[in-house]
Amino acid sequence: MAAAKTERLMNLLIMLLVQRGYVTKDRIRDVLYPASSDEAFEKMFERDKEELRSLGVPIELGSIDPLFEDEQGYRISPEQFALPPISLTADEAAVIGLATRVWEHASMAEATSEAVRKLTAAGVEVDVSALEIASPRLSAEEGSFDTFLQATQDRSEVEFGYRTSRGADATTRHLQPWGVARYAGRWYAVGHDTDRAGTRIFRLSRVVGDARIVSEPGAFEVPEGTDVRAIARTLAPAPPTGRVTLLVRRGAGHALRRTAEEVEYAVAGPDGTTDWDRLVLTRLPYDLAGEVLAHGVDAYVEEPLELRRQVVDRLRAVVAR
């Protein structure tokens, strides 16, 4: 189920982040996957690791004891995961404020507290100060996001107006949401469309007006084995491809640097100084414009021009709000 998977990913992130050393696979299994068979654990653990890495979480594999290199473990290095100190103007802070709505949502704060409580109960020593660097850079600017997220958690039906890409008029739709997934830089709700009697996916940015919860909690069950992200991948646009050139200020842009194919140091930047490095990326995240915006004034798009226009358009949209 989507909720169980989210909790499992949160627990794994926190467990690897709050401990100072490497954690063995056996220890991870005992605490986070206690009821799983050997085969199920291996599949879930590998899938969970890759999903966290795809979100930019640097999971490291290393030796538990330097004298016995055959005993391996996992950790998330706070130094690699953390961002450097950032100074923001008032306008820049407003942009970042919009981009952190998901993390600040009360349900996310509650999920974090629950994960720490479970790990502590299992005997895991946790350093909660390490969680200060764990705020993700996921934007959820769609006004209907909170409603669909709540309905997913409560298993409640949602009624909403929806405008497709082919029509100008919105129609009323009813959905039993199985989950909310982010793919190709956009948020989607996936579930059973009771009007069409079938599985459907809805792009949240096309929801018109306010979405409403119209049933009591527990009104439906999610089909066993449902993979919301897999459904989203089959229907959403393909991930971007190509070559992108960015200018990133020295000492900034660590997440971008980790995926760069080429780096040219001390080049002239948009402010006329040589405190910039030129990065060439060919492995592109689904929302590269969002990645650039997350670095504020420390990142600048050189090529392609279309990506630069996307960044500018989104900044203008934020100012217009």
CATH number at residue 184: 2.30.30
Q: Could you tell me if 20 and 124 lie in one domain?
A: yes
Amino acid in the structure at residue 230 = A
Q: Could you tell me if 8 and 125 lie in one domain?
A: yes
Residue 36 lies in a domain: yes
Q: What is the mean pLDDT of residues 44-69?
A: 76
Q: What is the residue-averaged pLDDT of the chain?
A: 76
CA-to-CA distance for 252 and 82, rounded, in angstroms?
A: 11
pLDDT digits (tens, 9 = 90+) for 164-222: 766 567 889 999 999 888 766 578 889 999 999 998 889 888 888 889 999 999 999 98
pLDDT digits (tens, 9 = 90+) for 290-318: 778 878 888 999 999 988 888 888 888 77
Res 115 pLDDT > 50: yes
pLDDT at position 249, please?
92
Q: What is the mean pLDDT of residues 38-43?
A: 88
Residues 75 and 22 sit within 8 Å (Cβ to Cβ): yes
Res 1 pLDDT > 80: no
Q: Could you tell me if 10 and 97 lie in one domain?
A: yes
Residue 53 lies in a domain: yes
Q: What is the mean pLDDT of residues 231-246?
A: 74
Q: What is the mean pLDDT of residues 41-47?
A: 87
Q: Could you tell me if 169 and 117 lie in one domain?
A: no
pLDDT at position 217, please?
92
Q: Could you tell me if 53 and 119 lie in one domain?
A: yes
Domain edge (last residue) among 129, 160, 181: 129
pLDDT at position 13, please?
84
pLDDT at position 124, please?
56
Torsion of CA 232, 131, 113, 9, to 10 degrees: 30
Better-scored residue on pLDDT, 125 or 136 = 125
pLDDT at position 97, please?
47
Q: Could you tell me if 113 and 150 lie in one domain?
A: no
Q: Could you tell me if 194 and 217 lie in one domain?
A: yes
Res 43 pLDDT > 70: yes
Q: What is the mean pLDDT of residues 225-254?
A: 79
Per the rule left: phi > 0, alpha: psi between -120 and 50, beta: everything else, 187 is beta
Residues 248 and 277 sit within 8 Å (Cβ to Cβ): yes
Angstrom distances, CA of residue 4 to CA of 44, 193, 232, 238, 303: 12, 23, 18, 27, 41
**Percent of the chain predicted with pLDDT > 90:** 20
Per the rule left: phi > 0, alpha: psi between -120 and 50, beta: everything else, 167 is beta
Residues 37 and 80 sit within 8 Å (Cβ to Cβ): no
pLDDT band at 3 (very low <50, low <70, confident <90, very high): low
Residue 103 lies in a domain: yes
Question: Which residue in 214, 69, 102 sits closest to 151, CA to CA?
Answer: 214
Better-scored residue on pLDDT, 275 or 96 = 275
Q: Could you tell me if 6 and 121 lie in one domain?
A: yes
Q: Could you tell me if 271 and 306 lie in one domain?
A: yes
Q: Could you tell me if 34 and 94 lie in one domain?
A: yes
DSSP 8-state class, residue 123: T
Residue 228 lies in a domain: yes
Res 73 pLDDT > 60: yes
We report the CATH number of the domain holding residue 46 as 1.10.10
pLDDT at position 67, please?
61
Count of structural domains within the chain: 3
Residue 177 lies in a domain: yes
Domain edge (last residue) among 235, 262, 283: 235
Res 284 pLDDT > 90: no
Residues 224 and 165 sit within 8 Å (Cβ to Cβ): no
Most confident among 27-31, 91-95, 275-279 (mean pLDDT): 275-279
> CB under 8 Å to 81, separation ≥6 — which residues?
17, 57, 58, 133, 134
Residue 183 lies in a domain: yes
Q: Could you tell me if 230 and 249 lie in one domain?
A: no
pLDDT at position 251, please?
84
**What is the pTM (predicted TM-score) of this model?**
0.41
Better-scored residue on pLDDT, 261 or 321 = 261
Length of the chain: 321
Residue 134 lies in a domain: no
Widest distance between CA atoms in the chain: 68
In 10 A of CB 257, how many CB atoms?
A: 14
Domain span at 248: 244-320
Residue 135 lies in a domain: no
Output the six-digit token pair for 164.
């497709």
Output the six-digit token pair for 89.
């103007």
Angstrom distances, CA of residue 69 to CA of 58, 66, 75: 21, 6, 15
pLDDT at position 212, please?
93
Domain edge (last residue) among 235, 258, 293: 235
Q: Could you tell me if 80 and 198 lie in one domain?
A: no
Question: Which residue in 146, 142, 143, 57 sits closest to 104, CA to CA?
Answer: 146
- H or E, element range at 220: none
